Amino acid sequence: MNPAFLSELRRALPASALLVEAEALHPYECDGLSAYRQVPLAVCLPDTLEQARAVLAACRTHQVPVVARGAGTGLSGGALPLADGVVLSLARFNRILAIDAENRLARVQPGVRNLAISEAAAPFGLYYAPDPSSQIACSIGGNVAENSGGVHCLKYGLTVHNLLALKVLTLDGELLEIGLEAPDSPGYDLLALMTGSEGLLGLVVEVTVKLLVKPERAQVVLAAFASVEAAGAAVADIIGAGILPAGLEMMDNLSIRAAEDFVHAGYPVDAAAILLCELDGANAEVSEQIMAVRDVLLKSGATEVRTAQDEAQRLKFWAGRKGAFPAVGRISPDYYCMDGTIPRRHLAGVLGRIAELSSQYGLRVANVFHAGDGNLHPLILFDANLPGEMDRAEALGADILRLCVEVGGTVTGEHGIGVEKLDASCSQFTPEELAQFHAVKAAFDPDGLLNPGKAVPTLHRCAELGRMHVRGGQLPFPELPRF
Amino acid sequence: MEADIVDRVRQALAGKTPLQLRGGGSKDFYGRRAGGEILDLSAHRGIVSYEPSELVLTAKAGTPLAEIQAILAENGQMLPFEPPSFSPAATLGGMVAAGLSGPRRPWGGSVRDAVLGVKIVNGKGEVLRFGGQVMKNVAGYDLSRLMVGALGTLGVLLEISVKVLPRPAAEFTRAFELAPAAVAEKLAEWGRRPLPLSATCYHAGRLHVRLSGGRACLDGALALLGGEDADPALWPTLADQQLPFFQGEGPLWRIALPAAAPALNLPGECLVEWAGALRWLRTDLSAKALRQRVTSLGGHATLFRGGDEKSAVFHPLSPALLALHQRLKRALDPAGLFNPGRLYPEF
Ligand SMILES: Cc1cc2nc3c(=O)[nH]c(=O)nc-3n(C[C@H](O)[C@H](O)[C@H](O)COP(=O)(O)OP(=O)(O)OC[C@H]3O[C@@H](n4cnc5c(N)ncnc54)[C@H](O)[C@@H]3O)c2cc1C
């Protein structure tokens, strides 16, 4: 490391907030996508705005890239360090600054865990709606950077729908106040632009979120189906019937069995697929909706429909779903989690194609996902110790994502592009669109030092891959040579 | 038609002549006066795709809002943010560019909440797509929501996908006679309960409240709420500003505040929506004095109609944010072709 840079970092931070020794850096070498690993130059753990600003100033002076890091649970390598860069961890920005029950909002630092917000709001009968399965660990800053969702976003929206304001530090030390506690702040919607920007546009140092009044009652209905297609069709039927469930999740047989072995949720292990449909609201409303949903499910061919008898059973039903990833982790040495979103009407077809691809590649695929949003999470099971399996898993994953784009969907619904889906996103965007993204980044970060190389592939990379975007059978820039 | 629009943009780029983007002209009054030749987009119309069970509608930007609302109504669905039209000519593109939401906004979300994807022509004459037709999509920066409320300054909207929702099974409107001091308390009390509120309006001593939801749920809520039955026709009239309060030439301010902010205590007549978060004020007070008060309450103020056309219509931005706006504008529209000055005088 450049000694001048190091001494500037030392001036910026107390000794306890600067890690440079190999073993201290080790825990930061990857995020939740552990297939990619890289040790950074240093890890900075500021706990004041001034310290964070000083770290950014040092990086700017010495042109050293910075990767922001929340809790490191990201699944696309967004917080993966760069060999020539520092990691700026927000772990010590962990204070809840205010719970304003009157205006139903919370002002928190970015390192605060997602669930901690709801816990702090609970005494006021309020909660923060987006609930990623990782909510006990992931940070709200990371949620903003990824626009994270959860099992309840069908009704309550994603992170972007539940934010009011951000404070963002730019590389040149400017503190931008984006959004307000009042609706529709003036000017461009920078709040939306920042959300999901994967740490490439600025460092989020404060977050104001909306809180909601806890519904009077929540109830979950479990329906079993003899085929994945039937379950997929039932999803469209429920929504077509004008019902908007709080959550609508699907699991296929492989994940049902894995989850049942793991948490004993009481799932029907012979079903080809189950749907979990949560309804919430006023007591009478929930009763009314349960009747309606049962009706639709039975008409759509459910072989069994169960309503949780009490809160304990409801939580059990959800525990199976929320524990599905680790459950699958128990039945396979490794798994690879995909995250495509498709229009719901293609659910049955795409699931069928995934099954075909699975047998073609000789790798099992478990499906457990946000069916109501059409957000698939195929889990590809493999063993990294077997030669070639990891490559096969990646190739299968790439095929699945291409399939999502083909039917009008996207390569990532909520986990982000990170480093993992750079190649896959080449098939989703034209070179002009990618160039537009790069221009937007330059408007925030002209030196290109904030998490460079993530989230948006370079035009060069896409061209080299030969996976240029094809729309309507026409190659963009047909006159340009392919290198 | 799309090709014609792209051609016009490329010509404008070549000739460095700014364009004034115009849908149905229903919101000509809104924002500052933009310079440039008029680019009429109202012929670029038609619904591209609509599948009710997907809860998504995609249409060309010039499609009349009324046409979209009609087809949604036929299928028991709606635009959840209840946008104002102001005139039958209003288009989908204008709705997105203005980003104005109606009475349901605090409960049903805003225009930007519902926008899923756009196809635009940027200032280089390139046709670009951002977002898509699916509920969740985090590939690339969210440039589709960035278009909402940008008043056409970042690109020509060609096509827009929006999320739609089922219409509530039933709706009731109730009215209450209440002194101004009692309203905030009432709203706060209702806000603490999981009541299916979907609109509020307080003006001249009367508070109107709308409840939406399933029958069973509404029965309980209505019993709890009390009040007298009132005409539900209030809400579209309110959204489109056809109430007498909105008539006349004097300046009309649109003031957004944290919902529980105290009374404005400014001279003039006030109408309050969104459970306190939106306050319309008719006043001759100077922009400076008004904005000072509003800023101190954590809000922002727009000169919605009337007043001094050359003054700042939208709440001034901090120097850092203004500079960022200018850089973003250049990133999308390097030659400054689209609606220059419509949003802020500086770009
Ligand atoms: C078991 C498991 C289940 C999961 N379930 C879900 C789910 O249901 N839904 C879902 O959406 N995701 C899920 N995830 C993914 C992950 O938890 C989310 O993406 C989460 O938001 C990441 O938060 P984090 O604090 O761990 O961020 P990190 O992984 O540390 O960082 C993620 C990205 O955010 C950037 N970043 C972090 N903090 C800041 C900041 N303050 N300012 C600027 N940029 C910042 C980083 O640079 C990086 O690009 C799951 C992950 C796991 C491991």
Mean pLDDT of B118-134: 97
Q: What is the CATH number of the domain that holds A67?
A: 3.30.43.10
Of A194, A213, A232, the position where a domain reaches its end is A213
Asked if B223 contacts A282 with a C-beta cutoff of 8 angstroms, the reply is no
* The pLDDT of residue A475: 42
Asked if A128 contacts A233 with a C-beta cutoff of 8 angstroms, the reply is no
Residues A350 and A305 in one domain: no
Query: Which of B138, B186, B254 would best serve as a mutation to test chain A binding (most A beta carbons within 10 A)?
Result: B138
Report the nearest atom of ligand 1 relative to the CA of A149: 11
**B139–A428: do the CB atoms touch at under 8 Å?**
yes
Total number of domains in chain A: 4
- Which residue among B138, B219, B258 sits closest to A147, beta carbon to beta carbon? B138
Beta pairing class for B206-213 and B269-273: unpaired
B250 to chain A, closest Cα gap in Å? 22
Does any domain span residue A464? no
CB pairs under 8 A between A and B: 255
Mean pLDDT of B200-209: 98
Is B233's Cβ below 8 Å from some Cβ in A?
no
The token pair at B304 is 């919605």
Low-confidence ranges of chain A (pLDDT < 50): 468-483
Asked if A431 contacts A470 with a C-beta cutoff of 8 angstroms, the reply is no
**B216–A284: do the CB atoms touch at under 8 Å?**
yes
The token pair at B129 is 């797509």
Q: What is the pLDDT of residues B268-299, one digit of tens each?
A: 999 999 999 999 999 999 999 999 999 999 99
With a CB-CB cutoff of 8 Å, which residues 101-130 of chain B face chain A?
Answer: 101, 105-106, 109-110, 112-113, 122, 126-130
pLDDT > 70 in chain B, percent: 100
* Residue A25 neighbours by CB distance under 10 Å: 18
Residues A103 and A207 in one domain: yes
Strand partners, B77: B166
Compute the distance from residue A143 Cα to the ligand 1 centre, in Å: 5
Does any domain span residue A279? yes
Report the nearest atom of ligand 1 relative to the CA of A144: 21
Residues A53 and A122 in one domain: no
Q: How far is the C-alpha of A143 from the C-alpha of A157, rounded, in Å?
A: 13
The token pair at B335 is 């030659």
Calculate Rg over the CA atoms of chain A.
23
Residues 6+ apart with CB under 8 A from B262: B184, B297
Q: How far is the C-alpha of A309 from the C-alpha of A220, rounded, in Å?
A: 9
Q: Which of A85-99, B206-220, B233-247 has the lowest mean pLDDT?
A: B206-220
**A285–B217: do the CB atoms touch at under 8 Å?**
yes
Chain B residues closer than 8 Å to A344 by CB: 53-54
Q: How far is the C-alpha of A260 from the C-alpha of A271, rounded, in Å?
A: 12
> Which residue intervals of chain B are DSSP H helices?
2-15, 65-74, 92-98, 105-108, 111-114, 143-146, 180-191, 215-225, 234-239, 287-296, 319-332
Q: E-assigned strands of chain B?
A: 19-22, 37-40, 47-51, 56-60, 77-78, 115-121, 127-131, 156-163, 165-166, 170-177, 197-203, 206-213, 228-229, 252-256, 269-273, 278-282, 300-305
Mean pLDDT of B313-328: 97
A165 to chain B, closest Cα gap in Å? 12
Q: How far is the C-alpha of B59 from the C-alpha of B44, rounded, in Å?
A: 10
Mean pLDDT of B258-265: 95
* The pLDDT of residue A214: 93
Give CA angle at B156 (B153, B157), nearest 5°.
115
**B141–A201: do the CB atoms touch at under 8 Å?**
yes
Report the nearest atom of ligand 1 relative to the CA of A454: 49
**A188–B315: do the CB atoms touch at under 8 Å?**
no
B234 to chain A, closest Cα gap in Å? 23
Compute the distance from residue B138 Cα to the ligand 1 centre, in Å: 12
**A440–B332: do the CB atoms touch at under 8 Å?**
yes
Is B192's Cβ below 8 Å from some Cβ in A?
yes
Residues A338 and A376 in one domain: yes
Beta pairing class for A304-307 and B300-305: unpaired
The torsion angles phi and psi of B48, rounded to 5 degrees, stand at -85, -45
Mean pLDDT of B146-154: 98
Task: Please report, for chain A, how many H helices and E strands are present, in that order.
Answer: 17, 18
Find how far residue A84's CA is from the centre of its chain: 26
Q: What is the CATH number of the domain that holds A163?
A: 3.30.465.10
Which residue, A347, A338, A454, is CA-closest to A398? Answer: A338
Q: How far is the C-alpha of A249 from the C-alpha of A376, rounded, in Å?
A: 10
| Order of strands across the sheet that contains A96-100 | A96-100, A105-108, A203-210, A163-169, A175-179
Mean pLDDT of B189-194: 86
Chain A residues closer than 8 Å to B253 by CB: none
| Order of strands across the sheet that contains B127-131 | B47-51, B56-60, B156-163, B115-121, B127-131
Asked if A294 contacts A307 with a C-beta cutoff of 8 angstroms, the reply is yes
Beta pairing class for B127-131 and B47-51: unpaired
**How far is residue B23 from each of residues A356, B37, B66, B125, measured CA to CA in Å?**
47, 14, 13, 19
Q: How far is the C-alpha of A460 from the C-alpha of B298, rounded, in Å?
A: 46
Is B56's Cβ below 8 Å from some Cβ in A?
yes
Q: Which domain holds residue A181?
A: 96-213
In this prediction, residue B311 has a pLDDT band, given cuts at 50, 70 and 90, of: confident
The helix (H) or strand (E) run that includes residue A5 is helix A3-12
Residues 6+ apart with CB under 8 A from B253: B280, B281, B282, B283, B290, B301, B302, B303, B304
Calculate Rg over the CA atoms of chain B.
21
Residue ranges of domains in chain B? 2-166, 170-305
Asked if A331 contacts A258 with a C-beta cutoff of 8 angstroms, the reply is yes
Strand partners, A178: A166
Residues A102 and A209 in one domain: yes
Residues A279 and A264 in one domain: yes
Q: How far is the C-alpha of A404 from the C-alpha of A413, rounded, in Å?
A: 11
Of A162, A193, A213, the position where a domain reaches its end is A213
The helix (H) or strand (E) run that includes residue A365 is strand A365-369
Does any domain span residue A280? yes
Q: How far is the C-alpha of A17 from the C-alpha of A169, rounded, in Å?
A: 19
* The pLDDT of residue B13: 98
Residues A225 and A207 in one domain: no
Does any domain span residue A119? yes
Find how far residue A39's CA is from the centre of its chain: 23
- Which residue among A213, A373, A412 sits closest to B192, beta carbon to beta carbon? A213
Q: How far is the C-alpha of A59 from the C-alpha of B276, rounded, in Å?
A: 44
Compute the distance from residue B176 Cα to the ligand 1 centre, in Å: 47
Q: Please report how many Cα atoms fall inside a 13 Å half-sphere around the Cα of residue B234, on the Cβ side.
A: 23
Which residue is associated with the tokens 């929930």? A286
Asked if A333 contacts A261 with a C-beta cutoff of 8 angstroms, the reply is no
The token pair at A203 is 């460092």
Decide yes or no: CATH 3.30.465.10 for domain B2-166.
yes
DSSP string, A79-121: T---TTSEEEE-TT---EEEEETTTTEEEE-TTSBHHHHHHHH
Q: What is the pLDDT of residues A321-349, one digit of tens each?
A: 988 988 999 999 999 999 999 998 899 89
Does any domain span residue A415? no
* Higher pLDDT, residue B35 or B83: B83
* Higher pLDDT, residue A64 or B311: A64
Compute the distance from residue A73 Cα to the ligand 1 centre, in Å: 5
Q: Is the dihedral of CA B289, A163, A425, B55 positive or negative?
A: negative
Residues A101 and A188 in one domain: yes
Question: Hey, is A3 helix, strand or coil?
Answer: helix
With a CB-CB cutoff of 8 Å, which residues 281-340 of chain B face chain A?
Answer: 298-300, 302, 314-315, 317-318, 320-321, 324-325, 327-328, 330-332
Does any domain span residue A479? no
Of A179, A195, A213, the position where a domain reaches its end is A213
Q: Is B215 exposed, middle or buried (0-12, 13-18, 19+ CB in 10 A)?
A: exposed
Residues A233 and A322 in one domain: yes
Q: Ligand 1 pocket by C-beta < 6 Å: which residues? A: A 31-32, 67-75, 78-79, 90, 110, 132-134, 138-139, 141-143, 145-146, 148-150, 198-199, 203-204, 325, 414-415, 451
